[in-house]
Amino acid sequence: LLHERLKPYRLILASQSPRRRELLRELGLEFEINALSVDEDYPADLPADQIARYLSEKKADAYLPTLSDKELIITADTVVICDDAVLGKPKDYADAMHMLMSLSGRCHQVVTGVTLLSAQKRVSFSVSTEVYFAEISEDEARYYVDHYSPFDKAGAYGIQEWIGYVAVHKIEGSFYNVMGLPLHQLYKELKAF
């Protein structure tokens, strides 16, 4: 089993996200949290679907100076893409409202990039999921922002929260990817690591 294979490593999740912690815990793995602060800037000409992977690699690079032989770092970044526009975490209330209304009645992509880093090896990958939103009213968007404060979420929403129950009518791809960690692919890559 995977937790047996990873015993030689000190597994470290480099993320502040409570959702990523919960998802990784559900894989039955023991890990520590150590999230360094890394700026999330990326080249302006980088294609939208490559940004999440680029940022996960950038976050992993921050651990290189202190990485020990027995550590395995997991970094991740998630972006929402609608009409080639990247929706990161909202800056404020108005930005969150604008993002939610731009997703209303439309399909968008959620891309999560993940990097696994040890002293001996690095593996990066990204997973994309299509998410279909029903039309929502401004009152519904306001209710969600008021009650769930989605300021730490790409695209200003969490699929596992109220807005996901009422607005997401279909997805194509990994549900857990939309939550911020593509578990099936991560499990596969960790087994091969």
Contacts of 67 (CB under 8 A, 6+ apart): 73, 117, 118, 119
Angle formed by the axes of helices 138-148 and 93-103, nearest 10°: 130
Q: What is the CA radius of gyration of the chain?
A: 17
Number of separate helices (H) and strands (E) present in the chain: 8, 7
Decide if 77 is catalytic.
Answer: yes
Of the candidates 114, 113, 112, 110, which has an alpha carbon nearest to the alpha carbon of residue 129?
110
Catalytic one of 39, 49, 77, 139: 77
Of the candidates 156, 152, 187, 182, which has an alpha carbon nearest to the alpha carbon of residue 53?
182
Compute the distance between CA of residue 72 and CA of residue 136 in angstroms, rounded to an integer. 42
User: Which residue type sits at 178?
Assistant: V
Q: Which residue numbers are catalytic?
A: 77
